[in-house]
Structure 1
Amino acid sequence: MDKYNLNFKLDEVPKYIQISKHIKKLIDSDFIEDGEKLPSIRKLSDLLGVNNDTIINAYKRLQVEGYAVQKVGSGTYAKRKEISRNFKKDYSDTLKKLSPSILNQYVDFTGETASSEFFPVSTFKMVINEVLDRDGAEALTYQELLGYEGLRNNINKYFWNNKLSTEDVLIVSGAQQGIDIVSKALLNVNDNIIVEKPTYSGALSVFKGRRTNIYEVPMLQDGIDLNQFEKILKKNKIKCFYLMSYFQNPTGMTYSLSKKKEILDMAEYYDFYIIEDDYLSELIYDENIEYKSFKAMDDSDRVIYIKSFSKIFLPGIRIGYLIAPVKFRESIQNSKVNSDISTSSLMQRALSLYIEKGFWREHITSLKDIYANRYKYMEDKIMQILCDKVCFNSPGGGLNFYLQIDSSSKVNSIDLFYKCKESGVLLTPGVLFHKYPKEGEEYFRLGFSQVSNEKIEKGLNIINNMLKSE
């Protein structure tokens, strides 16, 4: 009963509200377990020195707010609120309802893609015009099912040094579609899949939609915890392991080459396949990080490689590609056809020519310089402004930082989201990246792709004030 003790504040807040808030915190922090019976009205009123009506009103308030349920003839029981479904919808609705003009009034740390202000409009316009002059109306018609052959050839030539064949490459409408069509082709109800913990929320949604059994393995600084990974492999027949090899979303962590080799060996030994989401690997700022994908190291045809051009180029141009093991090539191609038949022919041709003329390499070089400076600025400001409020690991690349709220703070990332939103700052709580959302309550992600240095400092100061106020 000691945990229910409460020193009432001498202010205008009624005692029943103070009691309900105290019990809510106990439930949220696991001091009161989900389904645990709360003290009887008489016992709690005696403990706190209040009348029975005060406890009755406190319990009624908990029921209204979804933190308690009353069972006739039995008593009142704690009920942990389902934060994932309600908050995920609220978070999504918040971003959807903000028009570009209104969004500009916020410090927007939710961005996951390169800013459109750096998109080479004039160059890309010139390339599109050249494609139309060259190909005429044919540029607007559907292409072969695998995608425009010229683009597939250039992907092989400029990104894979002609180590693939054109038939190895399947054009898709971004990484999200790639994950979706692979899941439809490979995964059935009750198949077992392993994901990183935390992981990309879009991938979690796809795997849940396939009604798979999802196992999570914690992320370390150089990739997943291999000890926990192998324990799961020994006890379960795993079909696939979904991972993000560079600057993982949300943690920003990157797999070491040695860990990649160990995981590839395990894939062969335990007979599972790796779905590699090659996320933002173009944006490496730390010279100690070497680029070498799982797919490039794959000697046993165990890796399904997915790459999006949208994140780094422009989200509106929904183009990516997928490389599948021979064993699954036909089923994945059929899954793509059943999804949308063909990705935009004009955009495929324009991107192909853009790559061929060397503009892609120039754009990435320019973008990398811009974001390396912004990354360093934000890293310095986080250490300067939030040094005693959070801890984090510097990812060495990518477009975001993943912060852990100090254990001394009484605020969780959902509370922080709402407080910051009211003050003109948008951030992404860690609950969105976990199978069991409560595990992400002490984390939040800050992306710097859409914010200037001035806004970075302003936003971090507001976050600091929100954490300080607690």
Structure 2
Amino acid sequence: MDKYFLKLDGEGIIKYKVIEKHIKNLIDCNKIKDGEKLPSIRNLASFLKVNNVTIINTYKKLESEGYAFQKIGSGTYAKRRDINKNFRREYSNVLKKIANSGNNDYLDFTDESPNGDFFPIKSFKNVIDEVLDRDGAAALTYQEALGYDGLRESISSVFWNNKINSEDILIVSGAQQGIDVVSKAIVNTNDGIVLEKPTYSGALSVFKWRRADIFEVPMDKDGIDINIFEKILKKNNIKCFYTMSYFQNPTGVSYSIEKKRQILNLAQIYDFYIIEDDYLSELIYDKRIKYNSFKSLDLNDRVIYIKSFSKIFLPGIRIGYLVPPKKFKDSIQNSKINTDISTSSLMQRALDLYIRKGLWRNYISKLNLIYSKRYEYTKSCLKKYFKNKIKFNEPGGGLHFYFKISDSININCLRLFRIAREKNVLITPGTLFYKNPKEGQKYFRLGFSQLGDEEIEEGIRILYDIVSDTY
């Protein structure tokens, strides 16, 4: 008992919440094993010099939160297998509560999109005014189920050099809706779906909801492990492979052109389709990384391409687009129409004009200049503080880093999240990115888009202090 509760002994009046928190931490970091018997109520109360009711309340609270279970006539036992079960809700509630409170004291490393302070409000307002003057009420009332023709044409000409027909482009309300629309159109119960491991939590949720048969393939430095991938393809009937081709969320990995060609070849051999989520490919800082999407290399019409303007532009402007293969064009278009009929007509027209005027390219150039400097600064702080305690790759672009906590450090990402939150630092735990959350307990993601240099260094220093205390 001493090795578990010595730190609490002698702290004066001990409330049950203090004991509860201490036992949770011991279970989270595996000092108390799953299924291990906890001290009896009488013995623990005597050791900590509290009354029996305090320990009874502690154990009841642990049971209600999934950290313990009772065996009648035997006692109370630790329970680890459900510690991640409600964490997604806890994480979401924490972020919502902080956002709604207007509390700006937090150093928030959780965001995945550019800082709104850099958004060109004045120029976009002028574009909206021009659209309203030009189109009048039609800009607000006219609905086009597949998207505004002008925007589809500008996407075709500006981003694809007219290599993709505007009639094959479908406007959606961001990448998340794109994934949802595609899954509803082509994924049925027990269909085989391959995901990267780890992967974007929003996509994982969609395919789980569709009750697909999900297979995971670990990530290498230039994309998924091809050998493991092909073994899965040989043994199973796979319908789709979902991938984020640039600065993958969360690992930050970008696919090499060689690996893309290998996967496209496998798609033809094993008759599956690639759902490409082209995530933040505009933000390439390392000039050795060249842009070639799966879609641009696709010779056999095997790629369902999804692109969001919301992530790179402004989350509140919910616009993206997808390009389906001819085989699924009608079913995906019908799925979109059944989902929400159409995306905001005014925002589509404004974005179209913004792109045509060349303002989009100017904005992206500005973001690259700002975030390449912030990326380099964040990287230098990480190397300065963490050294060998936390491993991370250098993605060469995007807006985040992904970390593996050294096995010699006695802390997992859930405990790190909770301790950091108490110190006004917010991170994204790795458990959110895995089909089996336990596989992500030694990982976390750190986004640098919302913070200045001083805030970034302060947040990293606080995380370093937390990790050092458990080293």
User: Normalised by the size of structure 2, how large is the TM-score?
Assistant: 0.90
What does residue 138 of structure 1 align with? 138
Structure 2 CA distance for partners of 1:443 and 1:54, relative to 1, 3 Å: farther
Aligned with 1:9 (options 6, 16, 38): 6
Q: Identify if the C-alpha distance between structure 1 residues 423 and 408 changes in structure 2 by more than 3 Å, giving closer, same or farther.
A: same
Q: CA deviation at 1:7?
A: 7.6
Deviates more, 1:304-313 or 1:187-196: 187-196
Cα contact 2:400–2:447 (8 A) shared by 1:
yes
1:161 aligns with 2:158: no
CA contact (8 A) 1:59 1:68 kept: no
Q: Is the 8 A contact 2:193 2:242 kept in 1?
A: yes
Give the superposition deviation at 1:39: 9.4
Which residue is 2:178 aligned to?
178
CA RMSD of aligned residues (A): 2.9
Matched, 1:338 2:338: yes
Give the Cα separation in 1 of the matches to 2:365 and 2:390.
32
- The 8 Å contact of residues 372 and 397 in structure 1, kept in 2 or not, is answered as yes
CA distance in 2, matches of 1:131, 1:24: 57
Match of 1:373 in 2: 373
Q: Which amino acid aligns with 2:279?
A: Y
Q: Deviations over 1:202-230 (max 9, x none)?
A: 11111111111111111111011111111
In structure 1, the residue matched to 2:267 is 267
Deviation for aligned residue 1:12: 1.9
1:318 aligns with 2:318: yes
Match of 1:185, as an amino acid?
Answer: A
**Structure 2 residue identity aligned to 1:368:** N
- Kindly state the Cα deviation for residue 28 of structure 1 after the two structures are TM-superposed: 4.5
Distance, in Å, in 2 between the alignment partners of 1:40 and 1:302 is 59
Segment of structure 1 superposing worse, 103-112 or 69-78 = 69-78
Equivalent position SS for 2:84: helix
Counterparts of 1:466 and 1:282 in 2: how far apart (Å)? 34
Q: Are the counterparts in 1 of residues 420 and 426 from structure 2 also a CA contact under 8 Å?
A: yes
**Aligned-partner residue type, residue 333 of structure 2:** Q
Give the letter aligned to residue 420 of structure 2. Answer: C
How far the C-alpha of 1:140 sits from its partner, in A, is 1.0
Matched, 1:351 2:351: yes
Q: What SS does the corresponding residue of 1:290 show, helix, strand or coil?
A: coil
Equivalent residue letter for 1:390: I
Q: Report matched runs for 1:26-425 at 5 Å.
A: 28=28, 36=35, 38=37, 64-65=61-62, 66-72=66-72, 78-99=78-99, 102-425=102-425
Find the counterpart in structure 2 of residue 452 from structure 1. Answer: 452
The 1:143/1:25 distance shift into structure 2, 3 A limit, reads closer
CA deviations over 1:392-423 (Å, ceiling 9, x no partner): 00100000001111212111111111111111
Number of aligned residue pairs: give it: 460
Residues 353 and 22 of structure 1: CA distance in aligned 2, closer, same or farther (over 3 Å): closer
Q: 59-68 or 212-221: which moved more? A: 59-68
Distance 1:72 1:368 in 2: 62
When residues 193 and 62 of structure 1 are mapped into structure 2, their CA distance, relative to the original with a 3 A threshold, is farther
Contact 1:24 1:62 in 2 (8 A): no
CA shift in 2, pair 1:55/1:267, >3 Å: farther
1:269 maps to a residue whose letter is I
Q: Is the contact between residue 28 and residue 415 of structure 2 (CA under 8 Å) also seen in structure 1? A: no
Change (3 A) 1:84 1:19: closer
CA deviation digits over 1:180-220, x for unaligned, max 9? 00000011111111111111111111111111111111111
When residues 54 and 440 of structure 1 are mapped into structure 2, their CA distance, relative to the original with a 3 A threshold, is: farther
Cα 1:194–1:33 change in 2 (3 A) is farther
The 3-state SS of whatever aligns with 1:155 is helix
CA distance in 1, matches of 2:79, 2:101: 41
**Aligned-pair CA distance for 1:172:** 0.2
Where do 5+ consecutive residues of structure 2 fail to align? none
- Structure 1 distance, partners of 2:286, 2:202, is 27
Q: Distance in 2 between matches of 1:206 and 1:419?
A: 30
* In 2, Cα distance between equivalents of 1:409 and 1:385: 15
Label 1:135 to 1:228 Cα distance change in 2 as closer, same or farther (>3 A). same
Per-residue deviation at 1:70?
A: 2.9
Structure 1 unaligned residues grouped into runs of 5+: none
Please state how far the C-alpha of 1:59 moved relative to its aligned partner.
9.9
Shift in alpha-carbon separation, 1:62–1:448, aligned structure 2, 3 A: same
Secondary structure of the residue aligned to 1:280 is: coil
1:425 to partner: Cα distance: 1.0
Q: Deviations over 1:95-129 (max 9, x none)?
A: 11123773422111111001111111111111111
Query: What secondary structure, in the 3-state scheme, does the structure 2 residue paired with 1:84 have?
Result: coil
**One-letter code of the match for 1:130?**
E
| Aligned residues with identical type, % of pairs | 59
Please state how far the C-alpha of 1:446 moved relative to its aligned partner: 0.7
Which secondary structure state, in structure 1, belongs to the residue aligned with residue 136 of structure 2?
helix
User: What CA distance in whole angstroms lies between the structure 1 residues aligned with 2:250 and 2:189?
Assistant: 27
